[in-house]
Amino acid sequence: MGIGATAGVAAVGGIALNARASEGSSSSSASSDSLVFDPDAYSKLTTTVTDTDGDEHSVTYHFWKAITYVANPVDEKYQSLNVSVPVEIDGTAVDASDAPILFANSVGGYMPSSVADATGIGASGGIVGPGGGAPGGTASASAAPSASADASAAPNANGNTNNTGGALNTNQLLALAAGYVVVEPGARGRTLKNSDGEYYGVAPAAIVDLKAAVRYIRSNKGRIPGNTDRIVSAGTSAGGALSSLLGASGDSKLYDTYLKELGAADASDAIFATGAWCPITDLEHADGAYEWNWGANPLSSGSKADQTVSKELRSQFAEYQAGLRLKGLDGTRLTARNYDEYLVRQYLEPSATTYLAALSDSDRAAYLAANTFITWKNGKATFSWDDFLTHVGARKKSAPSFDAFDLSTGENNEFGSGTTQARHFTAYGQKNDTTGLTAKRLDSDIPELLRLMNPMYFLVDKPNQARTKHWWIRLGTNDSDTSHTVSANLAAAAHTLGDDVNHLYYWDEGHGANTDPGDFITWIAKVTGHRSKVKK
């Protein structure tokens, strides 16, 4: 059973994209002239960027603030973007006219994201809503990591803070210092309501908005600085899911009706490369994947999640995984029976090895003494899957983790419609509903919304030829916001199609970690073939 066996394509519907933010919003179409980038409408700013070696760099850049990227915006506060273009680095003029464009969304938890209050790169208004935070002017800004995750930003085992804002902000600042153009798009999110109580930021609003922003950039080739054929998307958590989806679904006609209604530019929405950190995606299969991965782990209270539910969901995952017929990066056919061995061999042991090898002899000895489940021999770490699960400890979420029986998760809200705040998006959730719903079947528009929100459809069912061919995927080993199989399946699907996949896990890191941002910036230069142009 493949992707399409779970959710087929239905008629487009279920969300009124023109539901206005307030009574005073205009419904009239704007002139197409509104989508022409004004190269002279910038402010000149200077910032200091500290690179991964600890060296400081002075960067002067041109900054375009809150440009509305569609002709018929539902809410300009969210449907706008910022552009930052370096013109001088450490006193030397640079030419970014043909530089890669880092397209960094700050979405967390499928919440709204706005750049309207920006004062410069990385200092946007960011995520707006309960539990949300914005990528601020430093790498310590926090953001809600996933729709149903704990919004707190707590230090992990390695002392880093688990947040999406810091990860993204670091990428943006380093990209600017490398001479790249940085675009920060806003997007609508699940909590937005108009005066009639209608939710106008639920699925598929966020991905439609990001596609419209890409179209705006590409339609302004020759006016907007940077190489519009070398757009590299970046996002964390739900933003990582959207970054993956943006890369997988480039130029898909499934979104055309939505984009036309917004007055999106008549241009391609395909991107060149995708960066995704801990993507919260493949939502309709996420409950089963989560129980396969974390079902044996206790909750923070010390008790276990409902084991009957966990067992039933694990069975669903086994069926789904078998139907994908995916091969791992090493050629292994990935099934529920061998996925644990694959994760240990392909990702977890190499991750632990890299971490331990970088420690001093004394620090390594101390770590191994405190974590006796690891065998360290000939410079390599080995351990079992069960011991790894014990090492991680408490799972983040109960069961089901995403389509909750009581409709309490952010993902339930993401699939809301009209004045209905939350809906089930799996048959299992609908069947076991505890809120008093009488309908036993999912609403008719849910299958299509699931397809529009899941990159796996564009990589497995009918591989999209306009997809990105370059993938940078990262996940912390201690991240129990979703299953480790989610990003591994994404990587395997892209790899199976022959794409360039750079995927690894960060040892002992939690949700939102980004421990190798400098490598990401170097990777962009490598895959795009960019060479910095310094003006002599």
Residue 106's CATH number: 3.40.50.1820
pLDDT of residue 60: 97
How far is 101 from 241, CA to CA, in rounded Å?
19
* Average predicted confidence (pLDDT) for the chain: 87
pLDDT of residue 412: 98
**Does pTM top 0.95 for this prediction?**
no
Residue 37, in any domain of the structure: no
Residue 284, in any domain of the structure: yes
pLDDT of residue 123: 57
How far is 53 from 170, CA to CA, in rounded Å?
13
pLDDT of residue 467: 98
Residue 33, in any domain of the structure: no
pLDDT of residue 121: 82
Residue 493, in any domain of the structure: yes
pLDDT of residue 32: 60
pLDDT of residue 135: 27
- What's the domain range around 159? 1-21+43-346+391-536
pLDDT of residue 120: 86
pLDDT of residue 534: 54
pLDDT less than 70: residues of the chain:
1-32, 122-168, 533-536
Residue 275, in any domain of the structure: yes
pLDDT in tens, 1-28: 455 433 333 333 333 333 434 333 333 3
Token pair, residue 413, equals 């809200």
pLDDT of residue 462: 86
What is the residue whose two structure tokens read 């008629």? 11
How far is 151 from 312, CA to CA, in rounded Å?
29
The size of the chain, in residues, is 536
Which amino acid, one-letter code, is at 68?
Answer: T
pLDDT in tens, 119-156: 888 654 333 332 232 222 222 222 222 343 333 333 33
Residue 6, in any domain of the structure: yes
Residues 6+ apart with CB under 8 A from 70: 35, 79, 209, 212, 216, 262, 263, 264, 265
Residue 253, in any domain of the structure: yes
Residue 357, in any domain of the structure: no
Total domains in the chain come to: 1
pLDDT of residue 169: 83
pLDDT in tens, 252-307: 999 999 999 999 999 999 999 999 999 999 999 999 999 999 999 999 999 999 99
pLDDT in tens, 35-64: 999 999 999 999 999 999 999 999 999 999
